A and B are shown apart, each in its own frame.
Chain A
Amino acid sequence: MTVLKALLKRKTVAIALLYILIVVAAAIFAPWLAPYDPAKQFFEGLTLEGAPLPPNADYWLGTDLLGRDLLSRVIYGAQTSLIIGVVSNGIAVVIGTLVGVTAGFVRGWLGSVLMRLTDLMMAFPALLLAIALAAILQPSLWIVAMVIAMVNWVQIARVIYSETISISSKDFVAVERTIGVSAPRILFSHLLPHLLPTILVWATLGISTTVLLEATLSFLGVGVQPPKPSWGNIIFESQTYFTSAVWLVLFPGIAIIALSLSFNLVGDALRDELDPTLKGRS
């Protein structure tokens, strides 16, 4: 609780937290918040020439190429993007951390096997792997989330692995051993807190990359299936009209950037709050 209070004291962090809350609320309460059905194509949503409408009094954020309300699509899109950005990215971070820490702390044959596996995964083009996996398994939101997690844990594992090795070679870990502290306790009580900053940075950076990876997959037809909206696929569907209908890319783009920035700010602030060495020296 004291940590939360300290976080709220920083103005930018408070705003970031507020934005995250709004996105979460939008995702949960989409049916009530959205002015229209996100899949409904309005006749009056297009001009007589068939061009989408810019933002106006009826459609606050304008309409898309098929005459659907952009605001409703962005609100519903929050569901998909949150699941991809938070859940699948979270799974990637957990797997990556577990693999990296185990390989770095235990070393030996287990460490070698885990790291060779990571190298193997890295050698595959991530996109190709995702397409292959998504094509084999019936594409649905949850499958896409799992596929993205499977592709994204690799870099995290690599980074955490080298961090773990550098921290466990420090003197204080040797001291813990001489005191008789057990290996799991050293791992959880002494190593993990030092890994936290790295994990937080990767977790927050991962949000924007995973949201965009989902968009790429949607674009290629193996992601979230239309007409279900996601921030990524809204951008991809309309990117060719960027010059004539800028709002179609601008609003979902801002939504993604703001989400990723917010998580980043909160992550940074959390790292500082949890680090006792940054508090007053005497």
Chain B
Amino acid sequence: MTTQPGSGERRVLSVERLSIDISHEHDTQRVVDDLNFALYAGRTLCIAGESGSGKSLSSLAIMGLLPKMARLPSGAILYGERDLLELPERAMQRLRGREIAMIFQEPMTSLNPLMTVGQQLEETIRRHKLAEGGQATQRAREMLDAVRVPHVEQRLKQHPHELSGGMRQRVMIAMAMVCRPKVLIADEPTTALDVTIQAQILELMRELQREFETALLMITHDMGVVAEMADDVVVMNQGIVEESATARAVFTAPQSAYTRKLLAAVPRLGTAPSRLPVHGTDVTRLEVNGLRVRFPVKRRSPFEVRREVCAVEDVNFTLGAGETLGIVGESGCGKSTTGKALMNMLDFSGSVRLDGRELNGMRGSELKAVRCDIQMIFQDPFAALNARKSVGELVGEPLLVHGLGDADERQRRVAELLEQVGLPAEVALRYPHQFSGGQRQRICIARALALNPKVIIADEPVSALDVSVQAQVLELLESLQREYGLSYVFISHDMAVIEQICHRVAVMYCGQIVEMGSCQQVLHNPQHPYTQRLLSAVPMPDVDQKRDFATLLHVTEVPDPIKPRGHQMPTLRYAESQAGHFVAMA
């Protein structure tokens, strides 16, 4: 598949010497410089790059939807005979949706929340004069069938919020494909989705492309998705094209240093050496027994049965000193709730013991004292830091509220902590908005370290970061563990990251642990069907390992977690297939 486009393939659109400037007040910045590529019918081109590479702006330029501050000093976008940049707005409007369609990252915000799926699809069909009246409804029905949405009749009457993320993205694709566009632009179409859903959407896009002969332009940061989908690849970095070649060439013989660095930073599932705990694991730090978290559902009338969401059900595990336990699962599986329960941020039942002390029911000064031993790192380093405090105040605050040292000592300690996470001590005077995502996450880590904790709960600590930065933060976490014998509970949806940093891993599904064991055991020899499904959906950054997602395409229903109050979930029984490898029995 990944060959040079033959003469038989039809060139649909070509971007030639495109540059984009963003002017802000007086200074102008070049955000895309001299970009060239061509789209062919039935072929997929991926623009890959990290944040700030200019990949999204390039796609907006094709759609003629650039923000007002953007200027186009040079270049042409040829669609057939016409240059899209010269086209008047009215002519562009006719092209948009009809011949060039686009799918965005967040399907919830790109659908109108007040209109049903049917109404939105029919509106698109009518606006482009594809069909009228009853025929439009029929066309909408066919289109939803084509994107494999089950129970079409019911879905047509539903509003976007009643659908899952994957379903919404299918509806978006249906809307984009309904006019059979010649070009489909997909901007990070699966980034907000779970891996199994991502696999379904990718497979769907491949099928539709084959059927409709669409030229597909995909914008993504995920090299796994690139390897899975692309025929041709353009690698961008800070507006500059680093490499432009066939997918095979990019992955097997990358020419530019940046591409090599990028590929090296991508964690590859199944390649990480198995890690042994640094310190003896005979000391148990954390012991979790029968952890259960349920949230009450608000009743609409006093006569309704009281119900609750069973978020976490009967979770048991132990965490040794100097050990990292990964908790992996898809959104809604209860992994973050488990983390919050361990931090005593919400009410739970069952027992959590930290060095033998029971945390359940702990309050006030006792709880405050325990905070010294167990700390948390959050996913989004932009939201986790108060923008109105300086870095010094933020990192020093734990010391201040726990009354450790006087002002001078605190200042020294803050400098020391910042150095530990690889930041110069001077940054203490600056404010969070002056730092990049990776630097902010380092500040968060410094804060978490301030009280010399023994256990750190890390909730998706690298998910919001670019891959190259991700690798650095993971390395930092590892070196801190070696130095201080820290124990981590590492919550993530990313199997490759888990494999890289964890000693043991627990797979969660619907609030329960379905499989637990060493990384080697669980990720290389998965026993539970859910684990197997999860692993088979991970896209590999390797062109020789194309995955067959077709088997995943049928939709599996996730059981409803809302149960009447006091409902007894059946307790899972585990079989120990190997030493330390537990698998839930069906």
Contact = CB atoms under 8 A, between A and B. Distances in A.
Contacts of B398: 179-180
Contacts of A276: 387-388, 390, 431, 433
A277 B444 CA distance: 18
A172 B375 contact: no
Interface in A155-201: 170-172, 174-182, 185, 190, 193-194
B385 to A, nearest CB: 6
B1 interface: no
B332 to A, nearest CB: 19
B375 A179 contact: yes
A277 B401 contact: no
A178 B431 contact: no
A185 to B, nearest CB: 7
Contacts of B384: 171-172, 175
A199 to B, nearest CB: 14
Interface in B347-372: 367-368, 371-372
A178 B388 contact: no
- Which secondary structure characterizes the binding site on chain B? loop
Given A174-B345, A180-B401, A281-B434, A275 B388 contact: yes
- Which secondary structure characterizes the binding site on chain A? helix
Contacts of A179: 371, 375, 397-398, 401, 447, 451
A279 interface: yes
B10 interface: no
Given A170-B383, A178-B371, A179-B371, A277 B378 contact: no
Contacts of A170: 383
Contact of B383 (A172, A185, A275, A277): A172
Which of A179, A182, A277 has the largest number of chain B CB atoms within 10 A? A179
Interface in B431-481: 431, 433-434, 444, 447, 451
A174 B378 contact: yes
A281 B388 contact: no
Which of A170, A171, A277 has the largest number of chain B CB atoms within 10 A? A171
A56 interface: no
Contacts of A47: none
A282 B375 contact: no
A229 B541 CA distance: 80
B52 to A, nearest CB: 14
A193 B389 CA distance: 10
Interface in A84-114: none
A171 B401 contact: no
A172 B386 contact: yes
B397 A194 contact: no
A181 B372 CA distance: 12
A180 B380 CA distance: 20
Contacts of A190: 386, 388-389
Contacts of A174: 345, 378
Interface in B393-444: 397-398, 401-402, 430-431, 433-434, 444
Nearest to B381: A171
A172 B397 contact: no
Nearest to A281: B434
Contacts of A181: 397, 401
Contact of B401 (A172, A185, A194): A185
Contacts of A182: 368, 401
A146 to B, nearest CB: 34
Contacts of A281: 433-434
Contacts of B390: 276
Contacts of A280: 434
Contacts of A185: 401
A40 B389 CA distance: 57
B367 A282 contact: no
A178 B343 contact: yes
A159 to B, nearest CB: 19
Contacts of A177: 345
B368 A180 contact: yes
B380 A277 contact: no
B333 interface: no
A175 B387 CA distance: 13
B431 A279 contact: yes
Nearest to B377: A175
B375 A277 contact: no
B136 interface: no
A23 B93 CA distance: 57
Contacts of A172: 383-386
Nearest to A280: B434
B378 A171 contact: yes
A171 B379 CA distance: 9
Which of B371, B372, B390 has the largest number of chain A CB atoms within 10 A? B371
Contact of B371 (A180, A193, A282): A180
A174 B343 CA distance: 10
B431 A277 contact: yes
A277 B397 contact: no
A237 B32 CA distance: 65
Contacts of B397: 176, 179, 181
Contacts of B48: none
Contacts of B430: 282
Nearest to B444: A175
Nearest to B371: A180
Contacts of A282: 430, 434
Given A180-B371, A282-B430, 20 more contacts: A170-B383, A171-B378, A171-B384, A172-B383, A175-B384, A175-B385, A177-B345, A178-B343, A178-B371, A178-B376, A179-B375, A179-B401, A180-B368, A180-B398, A180-B401, A190-B389, A194-B388, A276-B431, A277-B433, A279-B431
* Top 10 A-B pairs, shortest CB-CB distance: A180-B371, A171-B383, A180-B368, A276-B431, A171-B384, A193-B388, A172-B386, A179-B398, A277-B433, A178-B376
Interface of A: 170-172, 174-182, 185, 190, 193-194, 275-277, 279-282
29 contacts: A171-B380, A171-B384, A172-B383, A172-B384, A172-B386, A174-B345, A175-B376, A175-B378, A175-B384, A175-B444, A176-B386, A177-B345, A178-B345, A178-B375, A178-B376, A179-B375, A179-B398, A179-B401, A180-B368, A180-B398, A180-B401, A180-B402, A181-B401, A182-B401, A194-B388, A276-B431, A276-B433, A280-B434, A281-B433
